[in-house]
Structure 1
Amino acid sequence: MTQKLLSRTVWILALVSLFADVASEMLYPIMPLYLKSIGFSVLLIGILEGVAQAISGLSKGYFGRLSDRTGRRLPFIRSGYLLAALSKPMLAFSSIPLWVFGARTLDRFGKGLRTSARDALLSDEATPETKGRVFGFHRAMDTLGACFGPGIALVYLYFNPGQYRPLFYYAFVPGLLSVLLLYLLREKRKPAKALSPRTKYNFLDFLHYWRESPLTYRRLLVGLLLFALFNSSDFFLLLRMKEAGLNDTHLIGLYILYNLIYALSSYPMGVIADRWGLKRVYLFGLGLFVLVYFGMATFELNWVYLPLIFLYGLFAAATEGISKAWITNISAPQDTATAIGTYTAFESIATLGASALAGLLWQLYGAAATFLASGIAALLVILYLALTTSSPVYRRA
């Protein structure tokens, strides 16, 4: 019996991600403005985001491990999306710093709670030969939300300038829709792993998987994390273009264009990866990253940024979903959530370091040196992955 390329479960999870991302991206452009309007300093905003992202990253590893051990996916996915939806109106309910910290952390904790289990469920719905297109399709729908969300926010603020607080309540609606859609899914519970009665769960338990994992997984993760360490926040791209003279409208337009290219390219990139190989497409994506960052380091002509952002959207489509598909193809099915969770946990930490490193390089040597260093690092990662890794598949019994 042949399996559908995109099953009902994949479609529902994709729609869930679309609505959840609409809710999140409605608030993304105005979050720093709102926080400053209620008295947060730039330093406090940085601390808030750093703590929230760290909790998100570490919880992905923990709950991925727990999902594999219990043999369950949906409870983690539903709870994670529910917490993220509830956090949106909570952010506007009170301006007390401790409350805002709690609400923002709840949102990121919800992301950590759901991500590994969701990606493992996507993997379960694919064969080794269709992983690229399944993860690519999900990434495409997720990123469409990143196109719609800022657009909704821009229209709202055009008619209601400076009125940030109601937008947080409106964002609850698509967030709630994402949760309700999940109740259309049913899960075939897998047997829980047999563990010793002395086995205890702890928040960093997923770290043990590094020693237990296949050598191919560890080699791949080294390359992915080295790249993450030099792949700083997209904020630096926007800052570079702002310094070159682009106004706020052009910057937001380019941000929406990036997400649109990312969304429209993700599924085709997944199809190509299934045919040509996950490794080849991922390395192609890194090559695009090198071109973009070298271009950012070299040019300050406004018209150049349009093709660079176009290429940057293709880079994201060729790497984000593809990396997860590659990981699931070299991990045992019973360890899928753990493998993804361990990677995303380490990646979150590396990403925090990447932005700090980029900021330091920018301050000491300027923007061109920052982008040049990242481009050179990506070239070295391409060489490392080309020589040390392969993309074999784990055949299901």
Structure 2
Amino acid sequence: MSSPAAAAPRAKPPIPATVWVLGVVSLAMDISSEMVQTLLPIYLVTELAASALAIGFIEGLAVAIAMVTRLFSGLISDWTGKRKPLAVLGYGLGALSKPMIPLASSLGWIVAAKALDRVGKGIRGAPRDALIADTVPAEIRGAAFGLRKSLDTVGGFVGPLVAIGLMLATSGDILTVFWIATLPAFLAVALLIFGIREPAQPPGKAKDRPRLTEAGRLNPGTWAVIAAACVFTMARFSEAFLLLKSQEVGLAAAWVPITMVVMHVVYGLAAYPVGRLSDRTGRMAPLAVSLVLLLAADLVLAQAGSLPAFFAGIVLWGLHMGFSQGILATLIADAAPARLKATAFGVFNLMTGLTVLVGNVAAGWLWQAHGSSATFLAGAGLSVVALAAFLLLGGTRRPA
């Protein structure tokens, strides 16, 4: 007969320190990125006379340039068995791109800076996520990926708040804000270098290195998750269009970053509890809810002509992000073979990047040709298609 103590459920292990450090690294880099990105669309329009189509093209091109980088970063990480060096390189390139923005004298230099930033993002994403998968037990993966996303989104709302304060303090000097944004980026790189220790490789792993051709031979479960993620990405375009919409409804340039503050606060508050919930109940329900939230956000934003309506749409958008982004990464960690974790994240980033490229260019064209309502209504229509396709795919399941 078993004792009461033996019958008690086993306590879940704590989230490893590596996840916390990676989360703080993401937080610092995101503070820097959001200080730039929340003001960049306005800077492009007011100072460099860029159109909505040009902004959509720049956003999409930056993603396209990073696509191959994302795939090969995952392959190299699995082949070498090393995650940290590639993560440091990726975050380092992101930091180097930051001073290029205030130094840029033309749209071409902005494109180059965005490309370098996205190449860095592409390099670091797969090995960073694989490092989390390597160090976290399967039973708390949802919580771990949700925690990193939540810490990342803290940077997502602190950055715009700092940008607002600096814009008010400098009488709207956007270039000064861009220069100050370089500081947290380089701090993130230093923290990664000195705060993370790579876990030891299991015995025999060096002899089991994946080959390039294996990138196309991931298991069916991983491909199903990637297909579901592409369906999601098809329905969601860049947040740059949220910033353009904020000016349309009457926000002054100095207050435009408050859009990302609201979105990231909601996103950050949702991501961790949703991740924990998915560890208990499975991944399907949160992802389905996220598409319903995206549909509602697009419909509200398409009709928004006032600040209250606009911010209602932003809250719904943030909830959509909180219910989906950490869960999609967790699903890749659940489904991919252990020897191909980083490769799977690389393929995942490549395929969703292709979808983002098409979506951003289409969103920019619709905005320029037919106005902002057309862009958001198209997003709403794609959300319906995505929800139906996602339910048919059935690729999301409880963690193994």
Give TM class, smaller chain: 0.7 to 0.9
Find out whether 1:73 has 2:87 as its counterpart.
no
Q: Corresponding residue for 1:85?
A: 95
Structure 1: distance between partners of 2:45 and 2:379: 31
C-alpha change, 1:299 and 1:18, in structure 2 (3 Å) is closer
1:7 is aligned, of 9, 16, 19, to 16
CA contact (8 A) 1:26 1:171 kept: yes
Which residue in 2 is equivalent to 1:54?
A: 64
Question: 307-316 or 141-150: which moved more?
Answer: 307-316
1:44 Cα deviation after fit: 6.5
Cα deviation, residue 2, structure 1: 7.0
2:143 aligned residue = 133
RMSD, aligned CA: 2.9
User: SS at 2:286's partner residue?
Assistant: helix
How much identity, in percent, do the aligned residues show?
Answer: 31
Query: Of 191, 198, 208, which residue of structure 2 is paired with 1:187?
Result: 198
Residue 280 of structure 1: how far off its partner (Å): 1.4
Structure 1: runs of 5 or more not aligned: 200-204
The amino acid across from 1:306 in the alignment is: F
Question: Match for residue 17 of structure 1?
Answer: 26
Counterparts of 1:1-397 in structure 2, within 5 Å, are 4-34=13-43, 41-42=50-51, 48-93=58-103, 95=105, 101-182=111-192, 183-190=194-201, 191-192=205-206, 194=208, 209-210=215-216, 212-240=217-245, 242-245=247-250, 247-248=252-253, 251-298=256-303, 300=305, 302-363=307-368, 366-392=371-397
The whole-number CA distance in structure 2 between the counterparts of 1:96 and 1:241 is 25
**Compared with structure 1, are the counterparts of its residues 194 and 334 closer, same or farther at alpha carbon in structure 2 (3 Å cutoff)?**
closer
- Please identify, of 361-370 and 20-29, the stretch whose mean Cα deviation from structure 2 is larger: 361-370
CA–CA distance in 2 between the matches of 1:387 and 1:327? 19
Q: How many residues align?
A: 386
Name the CA shift for 1:186/1:102 in 2 (closer, same or farther; >3 Å).
Answer: same
For the residue of structure 2 that corresponds to 1:129, the secondary structure is: helix
- Return 5+ residue gaps in structure 2 as ranges: 1-9
Question: Does the 8 A contact of 1:297 with 1:367 survive in 2?
Answer: yes
- CA distance in 2 between counterparts of 1:73 and 1:356 reads 33
- Between 1:143-152 and 1:22-31, the stretch displaced more is 22-31
Distance 2:302 2:20 in 1: 40
**Structure 1 residue ranges, 4+ long, deviating more than 6 angstroms after superposition:** none
Distance across 1 between alignment mates of 2:247 and 2:43: 21
Q: 1:335 to 1:225 in 2, by over 3 A?
A: same
TM-score (norm: length of structure 1): 0.86
* 1:4-31: CA deviation from partner (whole Å, max 9, x where unpaired): 3311101110111111111111212333
Instruction: Supply the AA of the counterpart residue of 1:209.
Output: A
How far residue 93 of structure 1 moved from its aligned partner, in angstroms, is: 4.3
How far apart, in 1, do the equivalents of 2:357 and 2:73 lie? 21
